[in-house]
Amino acid sequence: MDLAQRYPSLHVSRHPLVAHKLSILRDVGTDTKKFRELVRELTWLLGYEAMADLDTRPRRVETPLEAIEGAEVDPRVGLVPVLRAGLGMVDAMLELIPTAQVWHIGLYRDERTLKPVEYYNKLPDAATVQVCLILDPMLATGGSSAATVDILKAWGAARIKQISLIAAPEGVATLSGQHPDVDIHVAAVDRELNERGYIVPGLGDAGDRQFGTFAGPSSEPGHEPGDETAEVVRRLQRDLARD
C-alpha cells in the first residue's frame, strides 16, 4: 500500500520545484554553501505547504483606495529547530512567518543505539504557542522527532507538525505510530535505512553537509556498522513490515 494512504498524517510534496531542488541537494557534488541555500529554499516551499491550514482572523485594512476586511494568522506559532541540523531551516520559516517564536531543542542520536540524547531544552514551564512546527531535515528512525513531540506535548503544545526534507519509511512508521495526530510534511520518502541508520538514497549527514564538519570516514554513512546499530535497524524494519 502507498505510504501516504497507510499514514494519513504524511504529506509528501508534489511540487516540481521541490523535486528539482531536492535532487541537487542530494548530489554528493553539491558544496556546503549551495547545500545551505537549498535547505533554505526547500524549507520555504515545504513550510508554505505545511502552514496551508492555519486559521486566520479578520483584520481591517485601509488600502490607498478603500477599507477592506483582510486576514491575519490567528494561532501563535512556535518554530522548534532540532539542533543542529534544524538550524538551517529557521531563517526560511521566519521569512514566511516573522512573528513566530523560536524554541531550540538539542538532541543528538547515539551512533550505537540510534536513540536520541537530549542536551538542550530551555522551554518555559507552560506552552507559549498554539502550533509548533518541528524543523529537522532528516526523519530517519523517527527517534529524535518522536522525542521532540513528547517534549512539546508535555509542555502543552496543542498542535504539532513536523517539517523534514527526507524521511525513511521506518521513521514515518515510528512517528505516526506514536503520534498519529502530528502532521508530517516532507519533500520525499526514501527507500529505507541502511545498517547504520542512514537514509538511503538520502543525502548523507545533513548536519555535516550544512556546517562543513566532515571528520573523516568514521563519521560518514557506509562506515563499519556496529552489530547493535544494525539490530536496531532490523527491528524497525520488522515493525514496519508487520504494520
**For binding to ligand URA (CB under 6 A), which residues are involved?**
85, 138, 140, 198-199, 202, 205-207
143 interacts with, out of ligand URA, ligand PRP, none, CB within 5 to 8 A per kind:
ligand PRP
Q: Which residues contact 199 (CB under 8 A, 6 or more apart)?
A: 138, 140, 166, 167, 168, 171, 190, 192, 193
Site string for ligand PRP, 117-136 (x = CB under 6 A): -------------------x
Taking the complex as a whole, the smallest distance from the CB of residue 164 to ligand PRP amounts, in Å, to: 8
Residue nearest to ligand PRP (CB): 207
Cross-strand partners of 67: 62
Taking the complex as a whole, the smallest distance from the CB of residue 212 to ligand PRP amounts, in Å, to: 12
Q: Which residues, numbered 71-100, are part of the site for ligand PRP (CB under 6 A)?
A: 82-85
Give the helix/strand (H/E) hosting 37.
helix 32-50
Residue listed under C-alpha cell 518555559: 124
Taking the complex as a whole, the smallest distance from the CB of residue 224 to ligand URA amounts, in Å, to: 16
Pick between residue 93 and residue 206 the one whose CB is nearest to ligand PRP.
206
210 interacts with, out of ligand PRP, ligand URA, none, CB within 5 to 8 A per kind:
none
Cell of 34: 549551495
Give the helix/strand (H/E) hosting 39.
helix 32-50
Q: Which residues contact 82 (CB under 8 A, 6 or more apart)?
A: 105, 106, 107, 134, 135, 136, 144, 145, 148
Q: Report the Cα 206 to chain-centroid distance in Å.
A: 11
202 interacts with, out of ligand URA, ligand PRP, none, CB within 5 to 8 A per kind:
ligand URA
Pick between residue 140 and residue 157 the one whose CB is nearest to ligand URA.
140
3-state DSSP assignment of residue 84: coil
116 interacts with, out of ligand URA, ligand PRP, none, CB within 5 to 8 A per kind:
ligand PRP
Distance CA 188, CA 49 (A): 14
199 interacts with, out of ligand PRP, ligand URA, none, CB within 5 to 8 A per kind:
ligand URA
Q: Does 169 bind ligand PRP (CB under 6 A)?
A: no
Give DSSP secondary structure letters for 136-187: -SEESSSHHHHHHHHHHHHHT-SEEEEEEEEE-HHHHHHHHHH-TTSEEEEE
Taking the complex as a whole, the smallest distance from the CB of residue 130 to ligand URA amounts, in Å, to: 29
Kindly tell me the sign of the dihedral angle through the C-alpha atoms of 164, 158, 130, 106. negative
Give the helix/strand (H/E) hosting 6.
helix 3-6
76 interacts with, out of ligand URA, ligand PRP, none, CB within 5 to 8 A per kind:
none
Find the length of the chain.
243
Q: Does 172 bind ligand PRP (CB under 6 A)?
A: no
Q: Please report, as ranges, the residues that interact with ligand PRP according to CB under 6 A.
A: 82-85, 107-109, 114, 116, 136-144, 171, 197, 206-207
